[in-house]
Structure 1
Amino acid sequence: MEEQNKKELFEKAIKLHQNGDLEEADKIYLSVLDQDNDNFAANFLHGCILSDKSEFRESINFFEVALRAQPENFDVNNSLGVAYKNLGDFSKSEKYFIKSITIDSNNYQAYFNCANVYSDMHDYKSAIEFFRNAIKINEDFAEAHQRLGETYQELYKEDKNEKHIINSIECFNIILKKQLSFNIPEFKSNATLISLALSYLWLGDIGNADKYFKELNTKNYNDNQYMASYIDNYLMTEKSITTLITHEYEQLTYIDSDTDEIRNTKFTKEYYQELKELYLSIKNNTFKITDVSENIKAQIPKIIYNKAPKVNSDNLINEKNNIKKLELEYLESNPEVLVVDDFLSSECLHEIQKFCRNANIFKYPYENGYLGAFLARGLSNKFILKLSEDIRLSYKNIFNDTKLVQAWIYKYDSNKRGINIHADPAKINVNFWVTPDEGNLNPDSGGLKVWNKIPPDDWDFHQYNSGVEKMKKFLSDNKSIEQTIPYKENRAVIFNSKLFHSTDEFRFDDSYKNRRLNITFLYE
């Protein structure tokens, strides 16, 4: 292949590559390699395409050929670092990122990449040093400020030194004050507000935590990209949109009945009437997804009513329980599973039941027919945040210095299924139930199944939250024991969050106010 032809081919291939047409670009790279298998550019660029496809092990073979041709090439060394990082070989990844820095000590991306490797290795002090080096070179590198703040949070989890949380807040505030934007696709635009809210919560500053969670929620619903993503994820399949419409109509009908004396809800007659027609078509099995108007798609994600419960008590937890005895029971259990009845104070139980009936925050439907409300998507308020603190402070010998990292409420359709086998990435899971006992038609079931096994160390989050058959096989092969805890109003199950667990089969009254509810707080 003549050099001029080769040059023209590469120019064409690179243009295709930049425009996202990876297959056509790669055909050209491979055609060059057929004629010249040591060609630097073809090996490097073919390796990049393999890396883009997450075929990291295969990409390394081509990067190494390119490296032999140009051992001092920054891009090749950096790409090898990325590939090895994604394969979990942090030692080799560090080696190539350090080499990249040696080649170009002014490249902030190389410091950033190496810092992320140190973070994966839990070497947080080295990670902080390298994130700071990246920021020295590029003060407006938003991702480095974000990751630096997150690394201070991780360091805080290890030693509970509050100065790390204060440092994290400074990092996140730089992003907000300078209005910096993320350019790396993996970084979500709302990450800074979530992180800032959690840092304030971990300091015990519920007011500021609530402020930033609320700011996040407002930002989400005014963000065209967020709303477009919401529509793609939740409003494009019949299962998810019928789940959402059914709950939305039943909830607004309940609110409008004035049972809980809710005032000033902001929905129009036109919106309600359109929901009603769709709801009836679902019940009559005549629903077609094409019947869902653009108006419904625009309106249904929005939170119409979300008044926080009242906080009139110093402690929302039932202090009449023998907490010392319960703590000892948890600490002596193997695996760590504790059932607590009459968990919340009667006032708290009443307020949270009313909140779950009326808060228009259940906007995230799942395939099995339940809906979720999440801490950073409408659930957070001063009551919920105080409750999360009251739990860990009341049962301090169980929770020690752990802090809330996530919370959600799931609301179920009485005719559908619950959550499949999974595990949650945290130290302690608090799963408590608030649907009135009269709604549970089978009091011997409907709660939680917990197995006495945790995932293997080499399983990642994706592996122990998907692939039900793989998890069942693991549990069977390891002769795990299943514990079933029946659903009961105001019952909590406190357990090691990494234990495999699932929703038990349930049969609840098919009415809106008696939908099965479970509230989950995760602590790390």
Structure 2
Amino acid sequence: MIEAQHAYPPTVHRRSCVASASMAAVAMSRSKRPGSTRAERRQRDKLARKQRAKDLSATLKQARGLHQSGQLADAEALYHTLIASHPEHADSRHAFGVLLLQTSRVEAALSELAQAAELAPRQADILNNLGEAKRLSGAVQDAEQCYRAALALEPGRIDALCNLSLVLKSTGRLLESESTLRDALRRAPTDLDLLLNLADLLNTSERFEDALDCYDQAITLRPDHGAGHYGRAYALYALSRMEAAEHSARRATELMQDNGLAVELLARILVVRQQYDQASKSFVDLTERRYGRGASLAQPGAAARLRKTNPIKLRHDYEQLCHLRDIGAEQGLDELIECYRQALVQCAERHSTVSFDVAELDITPLSRCHNRLLHQWYPDTQPQGAINPALDFGAIERQLLEGDEGLIYFDDFLTPEALAALQKFALMNSCWFKTDYGAEVSASPDTGFCCPLLMQIAGETRERFPTLLGRHFFATLWGLKFYENRPGLGRHIDDAAMSINFWVTPDAGNLDPQRGGLLYWNKEVTRAGFFDLSTTEKTSILDTLLSEPDVEKKIIPYRCNRAMLFRSTVIHGTDDVEFADDYRHRRMNITCLYGHSKAGRVDDVSADE
């Protein structure tokens, strides 16, 4: 029995043997599949890597497609997914960095692009975009290094040459910047951006005829390019070809309807041509497109611009609306006035003194009407002139030119009729949209602080002082209303060649007749590029000048219709303000600027290198 069992193993054993044989067969079969040997496994891994790379490429292509079509949120989400799963993929970080740069998140863009450059240090497009991020962050020297590194890898790279030229221009190396642009144009003679950049550089260098040639080439390539017509208008304006300049400026404003610079240039040209009504209208049309017109509690504003407000701004608007209601200039304001009263109560309850978004007050009618043109009245030009003809303009010019202070003041600047009309305009027009300094509200032509009379004053001032102002263009103007009795604007200079500042509030409002006017020092800022510096650097320069042993501070007391004509680089500031606490007597001044500031321009030093 036992032998029989040995001779014939149990069925289970046979099954076991069969099973073992089957497993062996399977094993033999598997050994023939790819990857069972080391070489085959490597091949299989290689195929898997190719598939992953293909999937990564497809996802990146999808993200870039969303990016290029303007679907930035969806593109950003995909970039995040790619970077999370492939943190060392340089192209994903690069593409995401470009998106961040395009959406003004410069610091975040710097981080992504720097990591991309570290992962792919010999990729010129990454280095070029990293340079752009550094330039926008203010690190121009680092930006220049990036552009040059990109060009070392790809010497003819047009975008890197173009960007390098911008850095060279911003650091005052105008000749080197021009050489770089011309090198790029030899490689790409019909590149529109290169032509426009070269033309702008030539304008900056005051080589206006050469600039015109470049603008004409650019406009031939792209007749509807607004920036080309704008630059051409500026060059023609500088060459005093006013009719042609006006034609180009009007074309620029047609193509760039909401561009304040284009409208401002057209207005300057029209002021020189004494077309004051048209100069004013160009600004008024721009303001109405931007901010909407009329008080409508039922409909949203035309544009959600300048939403910033503070208690000073709200108080001004409340007082102005009450004034308009009380004199019968505007009907149906009671509901809006009540909204402003509630807003002031909320500000007092929250002890708010800083600026905030008006929507935070949760007063819907106020949000809809804030910084809109609720009321406009635009005084016409004065047929007999706006500036007092009895002034001895020649003597004023001689006294300023022969003195060493760079400033002169005189009374009775405007005619009584012009002064009265300007006072009414300032009280009635709802154009005081800005709150830049905290203690006052301000307005400029692009917020509606513009009328034929103001344009006439700007133009006539230039004509009456031909030696001082005749060679300088009218640059801009603004108005300031002070709302707190405290020291006014600190020490500063204006970004122009010449300034005229005049006061229009009746003298009855000034509670201290010996103060409330202008402070100035016998020091001027001559540092090239001053306005490109940080606030700390500017303050340091002013402090150094005002600590010199021969420094003198002088006070010009406030008087209604008193004007100060001075070189814009003279250090000056507003004296202590103590005016009556009522709407009609808030201290108000108007400033007109003429020409370029020497402190605001960077001279070309490349010729000396």
TM-score (norm 1): 0.85
Name the aligned partner's letter for residue 99 of structure 1: D
Measure the CA separation in 2 of the matches of 1:49 and 1:462.
18
Name the aligned partner's letter for residue 141 of structure 2: R
Match of 1:329 in 2: 399
Measure the CA separation in 1 of the matches of 2:421 and 2:224.
45
Measure the CA separation in 2 of the matches of 1:377 and 1:106.
39
Paired residue secondary structure (2:547)? helix
Aligned length, in residue pairs: 494
* Contact 1:368–1:417 (Cα < 8 Å) also in 2: no
* Contact 2:253–2:259 (Cα < 8 Å) also in 1: no
- Identity among equivalent positions (%) equals 20
Cα 1:341–1:285 change in 2 (3 A) is farther
1:73 pairs with 2:157? yes
Match of 1:507 in 2: 578
Cα 1:376–1:63 change in 2 (3 A) is closer
Shift of 1:92: 1.9
Name the aligned partner's letter for residue 299 of structure 1: C
TM-score (norm 2): 0.74
* 1:250-329 correspondence runs (5 A): 250-258=319-327, 262-263=328-329, 265=330, 268-282=333-347, 290-309=360-379, 311=381, 313-329=383-399
* Contact 1:406–1:522 (Cα < 8 Å) also in 2: yes
Shift of 1:447: 0.5
* Contact 1:194–1:216 (Cα < 8 Å) also in 2: no
* 1:134-149 correspondence runs (5 A): 134-149=218-233
Paired residue secondary structure (2:236)? helix
* 1:192-211 correspondence runs (5 A): 192-211=262-281
Name the aligned partner's letter for residue 226 of structure 2: A
1:89 pairs with 2:173? yes
Paired residue secondary structure (2:530)? coil
* Contact 1:414–1:516 (Cα < 8 Å) also in 2: no
Match of 1:360 among 410, 415, 430: 430
Measure the CA separation in 1 of the matches of 2:398 and 2:513.
27
Measure the CA separation in 2 of the matches of 1:106 and 1:123.
21
Name the aligned partner's letter for residue 186 of structure 2: T
Per-residue CA deviations over 1:383-422 (Å, capped at 9, x if unaligned) read: 2122223333344454335443211111001334421211
Measure the CA separation in 2 of the matches of 1:62 and 1:398.
45
Paired residue secondary structure (1:316)? coil
Shift of 1:11: 3.1
Match of 1:18 in 2: 98
Measure the CA separation in 1 of the matches of 2:165 and 2:465.
45
* Contact 1:379–1:408 (Cα < 8 Å) also in 2: yes
1:230 pairs with 2:341? no
Match of 1:447 among 495, 505, 517: 517
Measure the CA separation in 2 of the matches of 1:459 and 1:100.
27
Cα 1:266–1:118 change in 2 (3 A) is farther
Match of 1:102 in 2: 186
Shift of 1:292: 4.6
* Contact 1:428–1:494 (Cα < 8 Å) also in 2: yes
Cα 1:19–1:514 change in 2 (3 A) is same
Q: Bigger shift: 92-101 or 41-50?
A: 41-50
Measure the CA separation in 1 of the matches of 2:347 and 2:414.
37
Measure the CA separation in 2 of the matches of 1:410 and 1:363.
11
Match of 1:496 among 554, 564, 567: 567
Q: Bigger shift: 165-174 or 390-399?
A: 390-399
Name the aligned partner's letter for residue 393 of structure 1: E
Name the aligned partner's letter for residue 516 of structure 2: G
Name the aligned partner's letter for residue 13 of structure 1: R
Shift of 1:30: 1.1
Per-residue CA deviations over 1:296-336 (Å, capped at 9, x if unaligned) read: 12202012222123655502223334444333323322223
Paired residue secondary structure (2:409)? strand
* Contact 1:368–1:419 (Cα < 8 Å) also in 2: no
* Contact 1:430–1:520 (Cα < 8 Å) also in 2: yes
**Structure number with bigger Rg:** 2
Measure the CA separation in 2 of the matches of 1:330 and 1:45.
51
Measure the CA separation in 2 of the matches of 1:323 and 1:53.
47
Match of 2:600 in 1: none
Q: Any stretches of 5+ residues in structure 1 without a counterpart?
A: 183-187, 236-240
Name the aligned partner's letter for residue 243 of structure 2: I
Match of 1:175 in 2: 252
Q: Any stretches of 5+ residues in structure 2 without a counterpart?
A: 1-45, 58-88, 101-107, 294-299, 596-609
Shift of 1:274: 0.7
Q: Bigger shift: 430-439 or 144-153?
A: 144-153
1:132 pairs with 2:216? yes
* Contact 2:486–2:578 (Cα < 8 Å) also in 1: no
Match of 1:480 among 551, 564, 584: 551
